[in-house]
Structure 1
Amino acid sequence: MDDAVPKKATGITVSSTIGTQTFERFNPIDFPSAINQISGVYMLSGALNTNRITIRGVGARTPYGTDKLRLYFNGIPVTNGTGFSAIEAYDFENLGSIEVIKGPKGTAYGSNLGGAILLQTKTSSIDETRLTNTSTFGSYAMLKDNLSFVHSEEKFALTFAYNHFETDGYRQNSQFERDGFLLNTEFKISSKSSLSFLTNYIDYTAHIASSINLTDFEEDPTRAASNWLAAQGYEANKYVLTGLSHTYRFSEKLKNTTSLFYTYLDHYEPRPFDILDEFTNGFGFRSVFEGHLAKAQYVVGGELYKDEYHWGTFENLYADNNGNGSLQGNRLSKNTEFRRQFNLFGSLTYPFSEAFSAQLGLNLNKTHYTFNDLFNEGDANTSAERNFDAILMPNFGLRYSFNFGQLYANISRGFSNPSLEETLTPDGVINPDIAQETGTNYELGSQWLLCQNRFSANVTLYRMDIKNLLVAQRVGEDQYIGRNAGQTRHQGLELDVRYRANLTHKLIATPYVSYTFSDHSFVDFVDGDNDYSGNPLTGVPKHRLSTGLDLQHTNGLQWNLTHQYVDNIPLTDANTESSSSYNVFNAKLGYRTQLSNHMTLGLHTGINNIFDENYAQSVLINAVGFGGAQPRYFYPGNGRNFYGGARLSYIF
C-alpha cells in the first residue's frame, strides 16, 4: 500500500490504504483498477455507472450496486438508508486516499459485514496557492478535464475543483457525460476550534448497454442488450452532498468532531420494462469524541442517517415510438419510503506495554423502515412498517509490535440489513420474518518492514461465518424479493508484498504483488427443492492476483506496468455456469518537469488491455432468460484502448 497516507481507522484497527501513488498508475477514469490493487477487495464494473464492490465476498450476491458496507466521504457517512453506496458519485481525480477496513471490525465506522471504505479528498501544503488543470483524451471519443484551485494558509484553506467527462463508450448505447464540482474549505476559528464546509455535486447521464448473453459476449462484446438498445435506456442523476463539520479540542487529551450533512439524489431511468422516476432527501449528523484516559485511548460517538425516498414507475412506450427510444406512458406506481439508521459506538485501546496492546469496541445499530403505497387503495394497498430490533456488535483486537513489524488478531461480530425491497413478499407486502444477516469474523495477520523499510509485506488469514444469508430471488425482469436462506463460510488469505530497489542513483524500481485467495462456500443453503450446501459462493473468484512494476527516474520520467488476473466466477448457485478466467495488462508512461519557478508540466500516455483480451469486467449472477432467451450473465470489459493528456500547474 502507499507510503505516508495518514490512517483514519481508530486505535489498532487494521486497514489498507491507497493514495495518489496508486491512482497515478491508471487512466483517471479507471476507479476499478485502482481499488482492485487492495487484496480482499473486488470492484466489478459493468459500466461507469454500474459498480459493485465486494469485500471478502460480502455483497457478491447483490444484483446491482454496492451494499453491506459503509462508505464515508471526508468522515461523512454517505451510505443511504437501506445500506447502498454509490462510489460513482465522486470524481477519482479529487481523491487523495481510499482506506478500506475489511470486515466488521471498524466499530467507529459501523459493524457491517463487508466493512467500511473511507474516501478522503486531497490535502494541500500550508502557504500554497495553486491552479492545476489536467486534461485527458482517449479511445471511444473520451475527454476528461479536471480544473482545481487550492489556497492554503495557517488559518484558512480552500479547494475548488470542477470536472467534465464524456465518452461514447466501448459498447452500443453506452454514451456517458458528467459534470461536477467539489468545494472544500476549512477555517481555524481559534487554537482550539476549527470549522470545515464541504459540497460535492455530480450531474451525469449514462446510457445503459446492460448485460449480454454468452453468444453475444463471444461474437461481439460491443453489443448492447437488444431491449435496452431498442429503448435507448439510460439513467440521469443529479447528486449533492453538503456537510458542515466542527472540531473542538478541549485539551491535549480530548477533542470532538461533529458533522451535520444533507444529501440529495434526483434519478430518472427509462428501462425496457418501465420508467423509474425517483428522488431522495437524506440528512443526519455524526459526532465523535476522541481522548485519553490514563494510558488508554478511547473513541465514543454516534451517527444518525435519515432519508426520504420518493419513487414511482411509468409505462415505457418505446415500442410505439417509431424507433426514437423511450416514451413515458401511464403511471404504474407511486411510493414513499422513510428510512432511518442510528449507530452508537465506542472503543477502548489499552497498551499493556510498549509492544502489546488490546482494543475492545461496541457498536449498537437501530434501523427502521416505513413504506407508503400512494397508488393502490383498499386491499391492494401495501403500506407497511418494519422496525428491526436493536443489534449490539462487539469487537476485540490484539496487537504485538516489534522492531520490524507487528502481529495482530481480531474477533468481531457484524450484520447486514435487508433493503426495504428485500423485505417485501411477491405481493408487495412486508415480510416480518426477514431477519438481518449476522456473522462472526476471525482474523490473524502480520505486517513486516525490512531492509530499511524498502521491503514491506502484509499477510492476513480470516474466516467469517454468516447466518441468515439474505438471498435476492428474481421474480420478474427487475423485481427481486429477499429471504433468509442459510449460512455461508468466508475464509481466505490476503497477501501484499512490495520492494523498493535503487537500480542506480537516478533510477528506482518498485515491483509489487497483491494476492487474494477466497475459499467461500454455502454451508447450509436450501432453495425450494434444491440443496446447494457445499457449493462455492456465487459471484466470487477463488484466486485474484494484481502485480505491477513502477520505474521512476530522477529526471521526472515514470513508467508503470500493471497486471490483473481474475479466476473464473461461479454464476449460478447450482455451480453449473461460470465465467472464464482472464489476464489484463495495462501500461502508463508519465513525465514531469519544472517549466519555471511557478509552473510545472506533466505529460502522460497509456494503453489499457494491451493484448485485447475479451473478458467480463462484471457479471450478473443467477441470471434468468425470459421468453426462451439465453440468460444475460456478462458485462464485457473494454477492448484495447489508448489515452494521453497533460497536467499544467501554476503556483502563485
Structure 2
Amino acid sequence: MKTILSLVLTTLFSLSFFAQNNVKNDSVTRLNEVIVVDTLTAKNAIGIIPSQTIGATTFANYSPVDFISSINQISGLYALSGALNTNRITIRGVGSRTLFGTDKLRLYYNNIPITNGTGSSTIEAFDLENLTSIEVIKGPKGTGFGTNLGGAIILNTKQLSDQPTKFSNNTTIGSYGLFKNSLGFTHAQKDFYMTFQYGHMEIDGYRENNRFERDGFLLNTIFKISEKSEIGLLVNHIDYSAQIASSLSQEDFNKDPTQAAFTWGSAKGYEDNNYSLIGLSHTYRASSKLKNTTSLFYTYLDHYEPAPFNILDEFTNGYGIRTLFSGNVLISDNVFKYTFGAELYKDEYSWGTFENLYRDNNGNGSLQGDRLSQNKEFRNQINGFATATYSFTPKLTAQLGLNINKTQYDFRDLLNSGENNTSANRDFKTLFLPSLDINYTITPTNQLFANISRGFSNPSLEETLTPDGLINPDIAQETGTNYEIGIKHQSKDNRLKLEVAAYIMPIKNLLVAKRVGDNQYIGRNAGKTKHQGVDLDWSYRINLTNKITISPFISYTYSNHKFIDFTDEEADEDYSENVLTGVPKNKVNSGIQTNFGNGLFANITHQFVDEIPLTDSNSLYSDSFNLLNIKAGYKKQISEKLRIGLDFGINNLTNKKYAQSVLINASGFGGNAPRYFYPGNNINYYGGVKLHYTL
C-alpha cells in the first residue's frame, strides 16, 4: 500500500511541478472539439455542497459500451461489474456488503428519482450514449437528493437548447460479437427543443451463457410557454434480455474463466426486462429571486428471471412528485439563498416465484413449474428538504440543510391463508437529517470546504423478512454522520485542477445479509462500521504547440474502512477491527489524453484495484490487478453540414486475468466450493464510425 501511495503522490507532484513551470502566457489555450471540459456541465447539486461531474471528456476515454469504466474514474466510487446486467456501485465503502445490485444511494435521471421503494437502483437500464453528464454526490450531504449514506448519482441527458437541427449516427463493432448503433435527432427553435435517440446493442459476451441484447429510445422535449414558464417531457424506454453466467469458484476461475457456473449454464439462466420512465416537469420563474420546478413521474419495470433455484416473475409500478423552490433575498447587503421542497415516491411491487424444472427439460434449459409464492408490497417514501445559504463575508459562505424522511412498507402474502399467511406492515420512524456545509475562499484559486451531515439507509425487502418470511420488527435503518474536509485548487488559466477530500463516517445498525439457502438471504443489524479515507483528483492541460495539447489526470481513492463492533453470531466470532468486506484499500485511475489539433486524438487510461477482502474474517482476499486501455480517433469536417469521426480502442491491453466483481461471504451448497469471482474480459477490441449531419 505504501508503495502505491508513494507512487501516486510522487507522480502527482512531479507532474504538478512540471505543469506549473510550463504555463505559457499566450492566448492560445482553447480546446479542440474532441476534448470538452466536464466541469462546464451545469451542476444539479443544490447550494454549495461539493459534487463531482464527468461528461464528454471522460466518456471519450472508453468504449460507448463501457459505462462502468467511465464512472470508475470518479474518486471515492468503485463500481463492480459481473456482466453488463450485473453491476454494483459503492461510494466510500457504503453498499459494499450488498450482495447483488446497487443500493444505499439515490439515483436520479434528469432530477427524477429512479431508485425503487427499498433503495435499489439499476444503472444498467440506461444507455451511456444518451447521457451528457453524470454527477456524483459522495455521502449524505445532498440534502435535496435523499441524504442516503452512499450519496446520490444524477444522470443528465439535457443538452443546450440552442443547438442546430441535426442527425447523428454512431456505430460500434467489436470483440465477442459486439454491435451497437445509436441514432439521434435534435431540433431547436425559439420556443421548442427536442432530442430523440434510438439505440440497439447486442453482444455474445466473453463467457458462456453471457449474451446481452438491448433496445431503447429516449425522447426529451422542452416547450417554452412564456418568458417565465416552460414544460418538459421525458420518455425513456429500455427493453433488454441478458443471459447470466454467474460467479465462479477459485478453482473454476483459475481453470477457465470463460465458463458459466454449472447450475446457471444448465438452466440457461437469464433475465428479461422492460423498463419505462415518463416524466412531466414544469419550471416557473416568478422573478429573478424565485423559481420553482415541479416534476410528475411514472416508472414501470417488468422483470422475468429463470434461475436454477426458482423462476422469479415480478413487476413494479412507481410514481411520484418532486417539487423544488429556490430563491434569494438581500439581507444587510449580502444575498441569502434558500431552497425548499419535497419528493414523494410510491411504488407497488408484485412478485411470485415458480419451480424451475430445467433438470427435467432434456437439456433445453429453464422450464416453469408450480407456483411457490405470490406477494405484493406497497412502499412509500417521502423526503422533505430545505437549505439556507449565506455569505458572511466575501470569502466565507455557509449552508444549513435539513432532510426529513419517512418510509413505510406494506407486505401482503397473496398465496397463503390462515396461520401460514405472512402479511405485515413496517412503519419506520421519521428521520431528521441535518447538514452543514462551509466554504472558505483562501485565495482566488484555492477554496477550503467542510461538511457535517447525517444520513441513512433503508433495509431491502429481503432484509426486512425473517427466515419464515415474516416482517422482522427489530430491523432498523442504518444511520451515520459524515465529517468531511477538503480543498480545491484551480489555476488562474484553468489548466491545473486539484481537489482533495478527507472524511470519517461512523455508521451504526449495520445491516448484514445472512444466507439461509441458495440465493436466500435475511438481514439483521449486526454492529457498527467506520468509513474513513481520502479522495484525490488531479488534472492538467499542457500546450505543447498552438495545436497539440496533452492532458494527464489522476483519480486516487484511499479507503480505510473497518468494523468497529461486529460479532458474527452464526460463526461465533468477533470481527471487530477487521477491514470492511468488499472494498479495495487503494484504487487508482489515471491517464493521458492527447489532442493533435487536426482532428486526431489518442487516449491511454490505467486502473489499479487493490486486493479486496472477501470474508468478514479477512481470511481470503481477491488479487489486485492493473488494467491498461488505449483509444485513438480522428474527426473530419467533410463539408459545411457533414462531419465524420472514426475511433478504435483496445481494452485490457496486457490480457490480464482478473475478477471484475466479487461476491463476499460466499457459501458452498451441496458440497460445492463457494463462488466468489466474476471474471473480467480478456483483451478485446472495438471500433466505431460517427456521422453528424446538420440541416
Q: TM-score, normalised by structure 2?
A: 0.93
Note the C-alpha offset of 1:2.
2.4
Alignment of 1:178-217 (within 5 A): 178-217=214-253
Alignment of 1:40-79 (within 5 A): 40-79=76-115
Say if 1:405 and 1:152 are closer, same or farther in 2 by CA, change over 3 A.
Answer: farther
Structure 2 SS opposite 1:230? helix
Structure 2 SS opposite 1:379? helix
Note the C-alpha offset of 1:350.
0.5
Which AA in structure 2 matches 1:182?
Answer: L
Which AA in structure 1 matches 2:129?
Answer: E
Note the C-alpha offset of 1:127.
5.1
Alignment of 1:113-262 (within 5 A): 113-126=149-162, 128-262=164-298
Separation in 2, partners of 1:5, 1:498: 17
Structure 2 SS opposite 1:216? helix
Separation in 2, partners of 1:636, 1:293: 56
Structure 2 SS opposite 1:215? helix
| CA displacement, residues 221-278 of structure 1 (integer Å, 9 cap, x when unaligned) | 1010000000000000000000000000111100100000000000000000000000
Is the counterpart of residue 280 in structure 1 residue 321 in structure 2? no
Match of 1:616?
659
Which AA in structure 2 matches 1:296?
Answer: F
Alignment of 1:181-580 (within 5 A): 181-294=217-330, 295-401=335-441, 402-450=443-491, 452-528=493-569, 529-580=572-623
Separation in 1, partners of 2:133, 2:126: 12
Preserved CA contact (<8 Å) 1:469 1:488: yes
Note the C-alpha offset of 1:11.
1.0
Which AA in structure 2 matches 1:534?
Answer: E
Preserved CA contact (<8 Å) 2:161 2:193: no
Note the C-alpha offset of 1:464.
0.2
Preserved CA contact (<8 Å) 2:557 2:587: yes
Alignment of 1:30-41 (within 5 A): 30-41=66-77
Match of 2:3?
none
| CA displacement, residues 313-346 of structure 1 (integer Å, 9 cap, x when unaligned) | 0000000000000000000000000001000000
Note the C-alpha offset of 1:21.
1.1
Separation in 1, partners of 2:302, 2:362: 28
Separation in 2, partners of 1:216, 1:450: 51
Preserved CA contact (<8 Å) 1:124 1:150: no
Note the C-alpha offset of 1:154.
2.3
Separation in 2, partners of 1:477, 1:503: 59
Match of 2:133?
97
Which AA in structure 2 matches 1:525?
Answer: F
Select the residue among 637, 645, 648 that pairs with 1:605.
648
Structure 1 SS opposite 2:303? strand
Note the C-alpha offset of 1:420.
2.4
Preserved CA contact (<8 Å) 2:319 2:347: yes
Preserved CA contact (<8 Å) 1:458 1:496: yes
Which AA in structure 1 matches 2:429?
Answer: D
Match of 1:630?
673
Structure 1 SS opposite 2:578? coil
Structure 2 SS opposite 1:410? strand
Preserved CA contact (<8 Å) 2:164 2:188: yes
Which AA in structure 1 matches 2:374?
Answer: K
Separation in 2, partners of 1:473, 1:293: 52
| CA displacement, residues 568-615 of structure 1 (integer Å, 9 cap, x when unaligned) | 000000111110000000000011000100000000100000000001
Separation in 1, partners of 2:266, 2:461: 31
Separation in 1, partners of 2:459, 2:229: 40
Which AA in structure 2 matches 1:462?
Answer: Y
Note the C-alpha offset of 1:624.
0.3
Greater displacement, 88-97 / 119-128: 119-128
Separation in 2, partners of 1:451, 1:501: 14
Note the C-alpha offset of 1:122.
4.3
Preserved CA contact (<8 Å) 1:299 1:348: yes
Which AA in structure 2 matches 1:532?
Answer: Y
Structure 2 SS opposite 1:600? strand
Which AA in structure 2 matches 1:418?
Answer: P
Which AA in structure 2 matches 1:258?
Answer: T
Say if 1:601 and 1:125 are closer, same or farther in 2 by CA, change over 3 A.
Answer: farther
Structure 2 SS opposite 1:34? helix
Note the C-alpha offset of 1:125.
4.8
Separation in 2, partners of 1:531, 1:489: 16
Preserved CA contact (<8 Å) 1:409 1:444: yes
Separation in 2, partners of 1:132, 1:635: 36
Preserved CA contact (<8 Å) 2:445 2:492: no
Q: TM-score, normalised by structure 1?
A: 0.99
- Percent identity, aligned pairs only? 62
Separation in 2, partners of 1:391, 1:451: 43
Structure 1 SS opposite 2:205? coil
Separation in 2, partners of 1:111, 1:16: 16
Preserved CA contact (<8 Å) 1:124 1:152: no
Structure with greater strand share of residues: 1
Separation in 1, partners of 2:254, 2:488: 43
Extract unaligned runs of 5+ from structure 1. none
Say if 1:127 and 1:154 are closer, same or farther in 2 by CA, change over 3 A.
Answer: farther
Which AA in structure 2 matches 1:187?
Answer: F
| CA displacement, residues 528-568 of structure 1 (integer Å, 9 cap, x when unaligned) | 11110010000000000001000001100010000000000
| CA displacement, residues 406-463 of structure 1 (integer Å, 9 cap, x when unaligned) | 1001100000011122111111111111110000100000000126221110000000
Query: Which aligned runs of 4 or more in structure 1 are off by greater than 3 angstroms?
Result: none
Which AA in structure 1 matches 2:324?
Answer: V
Separation in 2, partners of 1:578, 1:375: 42
Match of 2:29?
none
Structure 2 SS opposite 1:554? coil
Note the C-alpha offset of 1:3.
3.2
Structure 2 SS opposite 1:628? coil
Which AA in structure 2 matches 1:537?
Answer: L
Preserved CA contact (<8 Å) 1:287 1:302: yes
Note the C-alpha offset of 1:378.
1.2
Structure 2 SS opposite 1:611? coil
Preserved CA contact (<8 Å) 2:133 2:156: yes
Is the counterpart of residue 586 in structure 1 residue 629 in structure 2? yes
Match of 2:27?
none
Preserved CA contact (<8 Å) 1:210 1:225: yes
Structure 2 SS opposite 1:314? strand
Note the C-alpha offset of 1:134.
0.0
Which AA in structure 2 matches 1:198?
Answer: L
